[in-house]
Copies of this chain bind each other. A is one copy, B any other.
């Protein structure tokens, strides 16, 4: 099925709904991949969403539910009866259920969990207490646990037994009596081994794992580095308590990237989809940084103010302000973006600060000189009235601005991380504001010295 067919399907489903042909609608929906069924539900108004959702089979219902975006899940959970909600939560994989409940107020969660099985309730409550964005908060407890004294044949039986409830059956984990993680074996390996071999003899003992409190970004880096489809998670006592699966890691990666994009454009990160975010909320996410940066920019204004005399004597100096400010800002943005991205991907560490600085200084030199040369030519050709001294001041300032911008752009993100902050905050808007002030200060001082006002 490609995108066109999917669009046609959506139209067909809408027609069935409009014609109130619920039986047909239900049949078509249950044939669909749950992700597609969720995509259809999402487009419906609240009341119809619940109505259509209720027509789904119980199992399909839980599947479709886990593919819905957070807002739709919240709406459904709070409009359906508590019994219905509990049934769905019971049927969902624990990590998906936790995701759905995570943003709801504690009393609502309690109410919704009232009718779930004690087992589900206990696990969900445990999960809700893991720190946000930790390995614990994104793991699932449904996985295949083996014993090393079992044979491969017994392992296959075990997989058949628990397969239905396990989100990820393809990597099995071997634990001892104390639930300590002893080894790992893939189903692929089991296929290639004779049935009477002991698990202890085929399992890999150098297991790569994460702790429940590890940041989800570290988990993502491990899974991505080793090309795993799941990673075991252990608690403080090194007992295996869950696994993180690769599909959740893709979501983590996209989420973290979106957050970085937002921070780097001077916004408070939001986990909501653009078209579903209200105007007030959006303004609330954007105004704080705009305010901070606006007030900071007045420092640059004051620097300009202190050169009012030079400006009245030679107003043409003002016409180069936008070019100098923009070039400084852009140069700084390039460096800070490269460094922030490199740190996010784990390619640049704090200890690389020397190497980074030395590289940026040389790059800045090359960029600055190229820009100054082009600018010098341009001014000589197109601004014939301009004195050579003024051209010299402008080009000289350009080189210095690029040098300052690239140095600050490289250093601030690393400094932010060293101080325990978030490098992404030190992105182009912040760098631009700082570089602007430095650039104009250098420019007008050079002008005053060289043109000797």
Q: Which residues of A contact B (CB under 8 A)?
A: 1-2, 31-33, 35, 156, 159-160, 163-164, 169-170, 187-188, 191-192, 206-209, 223-229, 246-247, 249-251, 253-254, 257-258, 260-262, 264-267, 273-275, 279-280, 282-283, 286-287, 289-291, 293-295, 297-298, 300-302, 304-305, 308, 311-312, 315-316, 318-323, 325-327, 329-331, 333-334, 336-342, 345, 347-348, 352, 355-356, 359, 362-363, 366-367, 370-371, 374-375, 378, 402, 428-429, 432-433, 436-437, 440
Count chain B CB atoms within 10 A of each CB in A294, A301, A362, A370 and give the residue with the most.
A294
Contact A274 B347 (CB under 8 A): yes
How far apart sit A281 and B445, CA to CA, in the bound complex (Å)?
33
Whether the pair B274, A338 counts as a contact (CB closer than 8 A) is yes
Shortest distance between the CB of A423 and any CB in chain B (Å): 13
Chain B min CB distance to A332 (Å)? 9
Interface pair B192/A265, CB less than 8 Å apart: no
| In the bound complex, CA of A428 to CA of B362 (Å) | 25
Contact residue among B208, B319, B334 (Cβ-Cβ distance under 8 Å from A33): B208
Q: How far in angstroms is the closest Cβ of chain B from A366?
A: 4
Given A226-B33, A311-B315, A206 contacting B1 (CB threshold 8 A): yes
A279 CA to B301 CA, complexed, in Å:
35
Is the pair A362, B279 in contact by a Cβ cutoff of 8 Å?
A: yes
Chain B residues contacting A225 (CB-CB under 8 Å) are 35
| Complex contacts, A402 vs chain B, CB 8 Å | 290
Q: What number of copies of this chain does the assembly contain?
A: 2
Q: Which of B33, B227, B329 contacts A206 (CB 8 A)?
A: B33
Smallest CB separation, A131 vs chain B (Å): 18
Chain B CB within 10 Å, residue with most, of A246, A274, A333: A274
Choose from B274, B275, B327 the contact partner of A293 (Cβ within 8 Å): B327
Contacts of A229 in B (CB 8 A): 170, 229, 246-247
Residues of B within 8 A of A267 (CB): 334, 337-338
Query: Which residue of B has the minimal Cβ distance to A337?
Result: B265
CB distance from A268 to the nearest CB of B (A): 10
CA gap between A293 and B262 in the complex, in Å: 23
- Is B312 in contact with A429, judged by CB distance below 8 angstroms? no
A31-B206, A341-B261, A348-B275 known; A304 vs B291 contact (CB < 8 Å): no
A164 lies within 8 A of B187 (CB): no
Q: Please, which residues of chain B bring their CB within 8 A of the CB of A356? A: 274-275
The answer for the CA separation of A294 and B398 in the assembled complex, in Å, is: 10
Residues of the B chain whose Cβ atoms lie less than 8 Å from the Cβ of A247: 224, 227-229, 246
In angstroms, Cα B35 to Cα A223, docked, is: 11
The reply to whether A287 and B224 form a contact with Cβ atoms under 8 Å apart is: no
A32 contact from B33, B206, B253, B283, Cβ within 8 A: B206
In the complex, A302→B160 CA distance in Å?
Answer: 75
Q: Provided the pairs A253-B253, A326-B297 are in contact, do residues A1 and B207 lie with their beta carbons within 8 angstroms?
A: yes
Are B191 and A159 in contact, with the CB atoms below 8 A? yes
CB-CB under 8 A for A370 and B294, given A253-B254, A267-B337, A275-B347: no
Report how far A267 CA is from B337 CA in the complex, Å: 10
Bound Cα distance A231, B2 (Å): 13
- Contact check, B367 vs A331: say whether CB atoms are below 8 A apart: no
Q: How far is the CA of A435 from the CA of B47 in the complex (A)?
A: 44
Distance of A334 Cα from B336 Cα, bound (Å): 17
| B-chain residues with CB within 8 Å of residue A336 when the two chains form the complex | 265
Selected contact of A330 from candidates B35, B159, B289, B367, CB within 8 Å: B289
Residues in B with CB closer than 8 Å to A293 are 326-327, 330
Q: CA–CA, A341 to B336, complex, Å?
A: 19
Tell me how far the C-beta of A251 lies from the nearest C-beta in chain B, rounded to whole angstroms: 7
